[in-house]
Amino acid sequence: MGTASGDQPAGASSDKLRHVESMSELPSGAGKISGINAVVLGESLAAEEHDLVYPSAEFSADALVPSPKQYQKMYERSINDPSGFWSEIAETFYWKEKWNPSEVCSENLDVTKGPVQISWFKGGKTNICYNAVDRNIEAGNGDKIAMYWEGNEPGQDGKLTYSELLDRVCQLANYLKSVGVGKGDAVIIYLPMLLELPIAMLACARIGAVHSVVFAGFSADSLAQRIVDCKPKLVITCNAVKRGVKPILLKDIVDAGLAESEKQGVAVGLCLTYENQSAMKREDTKWQAGRDVWWQDVVTSFPTKCDVEWVDAEDPLFLLYTSGSTGKPKGVLHTTGGYMVYSATTFKYAFDYKPSDIYWCTADCGWITGHSYVTYGPLLNGATVLVFEGTPNYPDSGRCWDIVDKWFYNVVGDSRCPISDTWWQTETGGFMITPLPGAWPQKPGSATFPFFGVQPVIVDEKGQEIEGECSGYLCIKKSWPGAFRTLYGDHDRYETTYFKPFAGYYFTGDGCSRDKDGYHWLTGRVDDVINVSGHRIGTAEVESALVSHPQCAEAAVVAVEHEVKGQGIYAFVTLVDGVPYSEELRKSLILTVRNQIGAFAAPDKIHWAPGLPKTRSGKIMRRILRKIASKQLDELGDTSTLADPGVVDQLIALKDC
C-alpha cells in the first residue's frame, strides 16, 4: 500500500512519486495518510473509490497552489488575518471608492448577542459588471472571446468577444433605464441558456438593479410565488425554447404566472420577450398588447454605451430563491462586494484557472452554480466561457459525455483530469470545502479541505464541536465574503433557519463526517430538502402540491438514492376516504406537482398509504418512511412508539402496488 509520505504504490516507480514527499503533511493537521492505495494522475488507473489520487508532478508544478505547504500558508493567513488576506485580493478589482480599512469585516453570528449581521468591505463602492466586462477590455482583452454559445441543435452556435458583450449589456441596461428600472429595483429573468440570460444579469448589475433569475423549468405557480415576493419592475423571458425535440412555451408559462400574481395583488406591467426563432416564430406567440414587448424591437436600438451605477459593497446584487423546509421558497439575498471577491477567488483557485483555458460549466443560470461559475466568477477572471443551451442526450448521448464522475477519470480523462467534489450552497455564494487540484491528493467522493477563509466545524446535537475523526452536523464559524446577508423580507426566518439551531454558528443543514486524515465527507441533508440533479427541492413544497389535489388527504415525501439524479422523490400518499387507488390517479397526482412546481420536482414513485407512521403527538416518523422507500426493511428499528404500529405493515404490503 502506498502512502502520502512517498512510499511506492504498486505499478509506479519511486521517481514518479518524488513530488509526493512534499504532501506527507496534509492540511488541517491530517498527518500522514496510510493504508490506502495511491495512484498518480496520468500514470495509473484508479480502481477503487477509496484510492488516493495524486496530482502529477507536471500538474502540481503549474498549479496556482502547488502544494499543501502553500495552501496551509495561505489558509492560515486567511483565518488569522482575514481583513488583510481578503483586502489584498479585493484590491485586484476596481473600486470607485475604497472600503474603510478598519471595517473590512463586521459580523455577529450569535443570535444570543443580538441580530445576526454580516458585512464585508463596508464603505467601498464598486460595480460587478464593470469588473467582469469593462475592466477586461481596458486590460487589452476586448477581442478575447468572452462567451461561446452552443445551441440545442447541433450547428447552432455563436460567440461574443468582451467588447461585443459590453455592447449588448449596455443596450439592455439603457433600455431598462428607459422603462424606469433603477438602483434597487427587482427584475425577474425567466430565460433558458441563451446568451441573453447572462447579458440580462450583467445589465441589471450595471445599473444597480437586483436580478432574480428563475429557472425556466419552474411552473407558472412557482414563478408567481417569486413575483409576489420580490415585486419586480418587469419580467424578462423568451417566447419558447426547445428541450431536445420538445418545444416549451415559456411565454405561456409567464402569462399564467403574471395572471396568478395579479390575483394576489402584484401586477407587473411589462414583459420583455426575446424572440427565440429556433423554437417559435413571433406570429405564433400569444401576446398582450401594452404589456408585452419584443426584445429585438426595442433593445437593439439603444446606445452601446451605458454609464455604470457605482454601488455600495453591501448593496443587493441578486435574489435567488431556494427550497426550504416549509412550503414557501426562501429569497436568498447576496450583496455586491463580498460576493464579487469570493466568486472570483473560488473560481480561480478551485478550477486552477489559466488565461488560455476555455471553460465550460454545464449549470443553468437559474441556480447559484450558473451565477457564480457561468457568469460572474469566470468573467471576473477574464475567462472564456461556454454556454450550452441543450440537453446532454440530444440528438444522442454523444452530444455530451454520458460517462461522468466514477468513470470520467479513467475513461474519458485518460487518468489525467482531476475530478473535484466540492461542497457549497446557494447561501454560501461559492465553494466552501473543495479540492485545490494541484495541492493535495483527492479521495473520490470527499470534498477534502476548506477554502480560504472558511472555518468548518462538526458539532454534536448539543452544539459542541467534535475534534478528529467524527460525524455530526456541519457548521461554519466566522463569516466569509460570499455569505448571503438575509432572506428577502424575512430576516427572522434567516436567523431561525441558519443561526438559531447552534448559537454562534452558521448551520448548513448538512451532515458531515471527517475521516482520520482530516478529509470531509458530506453525508446528506439533515433537514427536509431533497437534491434532485442539483435542484434543491423542499419536501414541504412537494407535499403541499400533492395535498392540493382534491383526492389527496395527506402526503409525506422522502428522498431515495437515484443512479442518475443523485436523489429521487418518493411520495407516500393517503387518499380521501372512499377514493380507490388507480393508475390514472397516480398520474394525476404527479401532474399536479409538475404544474405547481415544475417537471424536475415530479415524484419518481407514488406509494399508496392507508395511513402514515406517526408518533402519539402526531409527528410523522420519516426515518421509517425512508427505510421503506429504500427497501431497508430489516433496519426499521423500534416502531413501538408509533400511535399505530400496524401502519408499517400496511405500507410494506402496498410497496409494489
The three state secondary structure string of 230-251 is HCCCEEEEECCEEECCEEECHH
Q: What is the CATH number of the domain that holds 376?
A: 3.40.50.12780
Question: Residue 601: its pLDDT value, please?
Answer: 92
- State whether 336 and 209 are in the same domain: yes
Q: Is residue 59 part of a domain?
A: no
Nearest partner of 516 among 4, 69, 7, judged by Cα: 4
The 3 state secondary structure assigned to 461-515 is CCCCECCCCEEEEEEECCCCCCCCCEECCCHHHHHHHHCCCCCCCEEEEEEEEEC
Q: What is the CATH number of the domain that holds 572?
A: 3.30.300.30
Task: Kindly report, residue by residue over 215-239, the tens digit of the pLDDT.
Answer: 998 999 999 999 999 999 999 999 9
- DSSP assignment of 181-222 equals --TT-EEEEE--SSTHHHHHHHHHHHTT-EEEE--TTB-HHH
How many other C-beta atoms are found inside a 10 Å radius of the C-beta of residue 144? 16
End-to-end distance of the chain based on CA atoms, in angstroms? 49
- State whether 180 and 276 are in the same domain: yes
Nearest partner of 4 among 27, 19, 16, 21, judged by Cα: 21
- How far apart, in whole angstroms, are the C-alpha atoms of residue 130 and residue 308? 7
Question: Residue 414: its pLDDT value, please?
Answer: 55
Q: Is residue 92 part of a domain?
A: no
Task: Kindly report, residue by residue over 262-313, the tens digit of the pLDDT.
Answer: 999 999 999 999 999 999 999 999 999 999 999 999 999 999 999 999 999 9
Q: Is residue 612 part of a domain?
A: yes
Which residues form the catalytic set? 527
Q: Is residue 381 part of a domain?
A: yes
Q: How many domains does the chain have?
A: 2
Question: Residue 98: its pLDDT value, please?
Answer: 97
Question: Residue 537: its pLDDT value, please?
Answer: 84
Domain of residue 551, residue span: 529-654
Query: In the numeric block, which cell numbers belong to residue 273?
Result: 420577450
For residues 339 and 312, the answer to whether their CB atoms sit within 8 Å is no
Q: Is residue 519 part of a domain?
A: no
- State whether 546 and 412 are in the same domain: no
Question: Residue 15: its pLDDT value, please?
Answer: 32
Positions of the chain with pLDDT lower than 70, given as ranges: 1-50, 323-327, 398-406, 408-416, 616-617, 638, 640-641
DSSP conformation class of 426: G
Q: Which of 453, 468, 494 is the last residue of a domain?
A: 453
- State whether 533 and 427 are in the same domain: no
- State whether 185 and 275 are in the same domain: yes
